[in-house]
Chain A
Amino acid sequence: MRVSLTVNGRPRTADGVWPGESLLFVLRERLGLPGSKNACEQGECGSCTVRLDGDLVCACLVAAGQAEGAEVTTVEGLAGPGGDLTPVQRAFLDTGAVQCGFCTPGLIVAAEALVAADLHPSDGDIREALSGNLCRCTGYEAVLAAVRLAAARTAREATAGAETDAR
């Protein structure tokens, strides 16, 4: 079958899709976007987290056909066109939240959603928001630090921006 969708703002089409294929398989193997990872393909690890029409989903649990006509954002679509990292991406590097990095794309997509929704999350809020993303390397301490840092930097920039606007 044919699946047409918008990925990271670009219309994309995949042909010859077997109906049992997941959105994750289509992204990785047919559209050349392997940033979303395949650690369990059972919805347990969050490595394949993407946004589907704005909602966080495990791409491995979404049948390819379900994504027909949808807007999908993957980790590849987060950094700016000039390669500028988002505050979340920068914070992951600054705090040492990246070791093997296999969990990183999923964690970053999930953390972006959290920071977009709440610039002052408590530790409990961060833990709750990221509890669907397994990481085997970092012990999560650096990940928590990254989200705190990204939220604080974003909040600071927002305040600075607001002050500039007011002037």
Chain B
Amino acid sequence: MTAPDRARPGAGGVGDSAARPDGVRKVIGTFAYSSDLRHDDMLWGHTLRSPHAHARVLAIDTADARAVPGVAAVLTHADLPAATHYGLEITDQPVLAADRVRHHGEPVALVAADHPETARRAAALVRVTYEELPVVHDEATATAPGAPVLHPDRTDAYAARVPHPNVLHRQPVRRGDTAAAAPTADVVVTGDYEIGMQDQAPLGPESGLAVPADDGGIDLYVATQWLHADQRQLAPVLGLPPEKVRITLAGVGGAFGAREDLSVQAHACLLALSTGRPVKMVYNREESFLGHVHRHPARLHYEHGALRDGTLVYVRARIVLDGGAYASSSPAVVGNAASLAIGPYRVPHADIEALALYTNNPPCGAMRGFGAVQACFAYESQMDRLADALGLHPVDVRVRNAVDRGDTMPTGQVIDAPAPAAELLRTVRDRPLPPERPWEPTAPGAAPDLRALPGGLSNTTHGEDVVRGVGYAIGIKNAAYSEGFDDYATARVRLELDGGAPVATVRSAAAEVGQGNVTVQAQVARTELGVTRVVLPPPDTTLGSAGSSSASRQTYMTGGAVRQACAAVRDEVLRIGRERHGWPGGALRLSGGRVLDAAGTPVGTLADVLRDGPVERETVFRHRPTEPFDPVTGQGNGHVQYALCAHRAVVEVDTALGLVKVVELAAAQDVGRAVNPLAVTGQIHGGALQGLGLAVMEEILVGPDGRARNPSFTDYLIPTVLDTPVMPVDILERPDPHAPYGLRGAGEPPTLSSTPAVVAAVRDATGLALRRVPVRPDHLVADRLGTAPED
């Protein structure tokens, strides 16, 4: 293994906390997000959505809506010019409902008008006649005899493999002989767990501007995670060849998986093409909650068998994910949940089944952690139960079984890169604990600091019933696309002179969603080409795909593509330099615009070569191939790379009122190589806080009628700065020999372990079993209310 390249510190290369190229525009307010776009003569689009979770659509009458002054178009399924359905993998999602709606909030009609309020009011005048149908909302109702079948005409690849047509995909993973091994375990712990529906809640609303073009095509400016996946799904819906559907990334206000599926894209384009005018669509917060997929709620059943010393003998797991009404990325979520079901632990015998259901609940798809989050809450809760049963420290039972390089996952895949699970666990365990009772006044006679108490400024307690707890967890996540997917990224790099100085222009279609991929691309170019100035034009579909800004893959993939393109540019520069300028053979480096030999002696400058014209190269980068999991045994080298993060949570719980205050949430994560330490730390903080949200507050409440009850920031709670603990971070760098610069995808792992760590700490404080997240006050005060504790 060669040492990763180190740029000069402070030069903005790989390994530096380089500044964001879009940072200044973001702090002065001139960075244009998708909801900020304007066009002279533009119309505003609005979507009418179903109030029912499951209903037949008997009639749609648009006459009154069309008659509203200022309305330019009202569209229903009858007006669709071409394909009527789309989907990321399975084409099962209607562009507009035809004869049936399958979830609350399903789009039924579109309006374009000259003012957003006109469009909203006109949409309310579209008369839709529904006949409500029985609602399928969980495994029992979805697979009961006579249950309504959500997609009776399935032709997807999974249809033939599933036990019931309302099961979208099912993946078993079997290793060893669990039945034979079970009797040899000294202790067995079983548990049933439940996870509520979490939302990505990116702050930037779904929005975009579609501009009809003279050639009959469309130019779409939109916030998305994957421009080319949008283009691939849009072209058939619009009845246009892909090259006439041109997509440019507009500023993205966070994503976290919410922008993997289409939202405004098809609707804005359809309205623009039908009116011949630019159409802007911006969801309000309620529509955002209804208009994008969520994290899969899950029910999980686990059984762990272990020897008296804590060594795991076998695990049985069954994971039921609620996919909602349409497939979205559920098949891949199932694959992740199944293959990562037992966590970063060595287990010789495993019997796992994960499945996703079609129901009439809101559709679920990608969210940070993608199937691994649900499993992690269950397996980490189980590890704590095991520690309890054996009288071991929770970290000790984990360390005893912790994987490292060379160990085998239940899929049979051997981990062939560092995976320091034990070291990460010890790192968080060994941190000093925060001071006890931080609200107590330091000076005699002073008042307690209410802000440090559960309940905070509400003044609900002065600490009488407050108890502290500490909890630990670790999670394992794959990076990049798995199961044989042809995952690649394209980049084009051009090196030229501008005012006599070399400048690199780096182009890719990678979506910058806030994570800092633009910073990383510039850092790579500076490191590889020895330049200071790097220009990054906005991503669009005129260049090849960069794949999705998801699955913790973009630094690896587009970073890898930019590195590869830079290497090609560098080779060409050196070749020209040797041929035309007599530069020596052997190893030459580019640094500070100069060309240096192995001893560091300058032999020429970039300008020598670039004076004759720019050098440009485009390349496609692929990670090493993966395989599909066997449909029966789940065996296969399905993943590219594994990443680990561990957390220790310290909480204080007011046991009288059921209020939780997370005091500290310490993380340790192995990132392989911190390409941008400041950005990596930011990812760990942000990811951990989303996991904390799932632990104690975030849930879309869906009634048995399938309706989302709290689609607003008033009722769907995301952590504020007052809910946020101190979050110390330890970053380990154990390079992955297979990855560019040794890096490891970093965005998702912190979201896995923070949830079970916080819940473990609340259990430690209260002694309650707590099988469901988010943990609510009534779970914590059940004893006092005279009802049985939730268990």
| Distance between A85 CB and nearest chain B CB, rounded to angstroms | 7
Pick from A38, A74, A105, A126 the residue with the most CB of B within 10 Å: A38
Q: Are A44 and B714 in contact (CB under 8 A)?
A: yes
Given A38-B35, A89-B27, residue A101 in contact with residue B253 (CB < 8 A)? yes
Q: Which residues of B lie under 8 Å from residue A40 when comparing CB positions?
A: 284-285, 712-713
Q: Which residues of B lie under 8 Å from residue A132 when comparing CB positions?
A: 720
Q: Are A104 and B17 in contact (CB under 8 A)?
A: no
Q: Are A102 and B204 in contact (CB under 8 A)?
A: yes
| Distance between B730 CB and nearest chain A CB, rounded to angstroms | 14
Q: Are B514 and A101 in contact (CB under 8 A)?
A: yes
Q: Are B712 and A96 in contact (CB under 8 A)?
A: no
CB closest residue in chain A, given B115: A18
CB closest residue in chain A, given B512: A100
The chain A residues found within 8 Å of chain B, CB to CB, are 18, 20-21, 28-29, 32-42, 44-45, 47, 74-76, 78-79, 83, 85, 89, 92-93, 95-96, 98-105, 108, 124, 126-128, 130-144
CB closest residue in chain A, given B681: A96
Distance in angstroms between the alpha carbons of A92 and B30 in the assembled complex: 15
Q: Give the number of A-B contacts (CB < 8 Å).
A: 181
CB closest residue in chain A, given B713: A44
Q: Which residues of A lie under 8 Å from residue B17 when comparing CB positions?
A: 96
Q: Which residues of A lie under 8 Å from residue B38 when comparing CB positions?
A: 29, 32
From B27, B686, B688, B720, A137 is in contact (CB under 8 Å) with: B686
Please report whether the interface of chain A is mostly helix, strand, loop or mixed according to DSSP: loop
Interface residues of B in 452-495 (CB under 8 A from A): 452, 457
Distance in angstroms between the alpha carbons of A35 and B727 in the assembled complex: 30
The chain B residues found within 8 Å of chain A, CB to CB, are 17, 19-20, 22-24, 26-33, 35-36, 38, 115, 117, 200-205, 251-256, 282, 284-285, 449, 451-452, 457, 513-516, 678-679, 681-682, 684-690, 712-714, 718, 720-722, 724, 726-727
CB closest residue in chain B, given A78: B28
Q: Which residues of B lie under 8 Å from residue A34 when comparing CB positions?
A: 29, 32-33, 35-36
Q: Are B686 and A76 in contact (CB under 8 A)?
A: no
Q: Are B285 and A96 in contact (CB under 8 A)?
A: no
CB closest residue in chain A, given B682: A96
Q: Are B20 and A98 in contact (CB under 8 A)?
A: yes
Q: Are A85 and B28 in contact (CB under 8 A)?
A: yes
Closest 6 CB pairs of A and B: A35-B29, A100-B514, A139-B685, A102-B253, A101-B26, A44-B713
Can you report 11 residue pairs joining A to B where beta carbons are below 8 Å apart? A29-B38, A39-B253, A41-B285, A45-B203, A102-B254, A105-B27, A131-B720, A137-B682, A139-B682, A139-B686, A139-B687
Given A75-B29, A98-B27, A143-B721, residue A124 in contact with residue B451 (CB < 8 A)? yes
Distance in angstroms between the alpha carbons of A128 and B450 in the assembled complex: 11
Q: Are A133 and B721 in contact (CB under 8 A)?
A: yes
Q: Are B284 and A41 in contact (CB under 8 A)?
A: yes
Q: Are B253 and A140 in contact (CB under 8 A)?
A: no
Distance in angstroms between the alpha carbons of A160 and B712 in the assembled complex: 47
Q: Are A134 and B720 in contact (CB under 8 A)?
A: yes
Q: Which residues of B lie under 8 Å from residue A101 when comparing CB positions?
A: 22-23, 26-27, 31, 251, 253, 514
Q: Are A38 and B26 in contact (CB under 8 A)?
A: no
Q: Are B685 and A142 in contact (CB under 8 A)?
A: yes
Q: Which residues of A lie under 8 Å from residue B727 when comparing CB positions?
A: 139, 141
Distance in angstroms between the alpha carbons of A134 and B682 in the assembled complex: 16
Distance in angstroms between the alpha carbons of A74 and B678 in the assembled complex: 28
Q: Are A127 and B721 in contact (CB under 8 A)?
A: yes
Q: Are B718 and A37 in contact (CB under 8 A)?
A: no
| Distance between A79 CB and nearest chain B CB, rounded to angstroms | 5
Distance in angstroms between the alpha carbons of A131 and B718 in the assembled complex: 12
Given A96-B17, A127-B721, A137-B254, residue A35 in contact with residue B28 (CB < 8 A)? yes
From A38, A42, A76, A128, B30 is in contact (CB under 8 Å) with: A76
Q: Which residues of B lie under 8 Å from residue A133 when comparing CB positions?
A: 720-721
Q: Which residues of B lie under 8 Å from residue A136 when comparing CB positions?
A: 200-203, 254, 256, 686, 690, 718
Q: Which residues of A lie under 8 Å from residue B724 when comparing CB positions?
A: 127, 139-141
Q: Which residues of A lie under 8 Å from residue B115 when comparing CB positions?
A: 18
Q: Which residues of A lie under 8 Å from residue B24 when comparing CB positions?
A: 85, 93
Q: Are B205 and A99 in contact (CB under 8 A)?
A: no
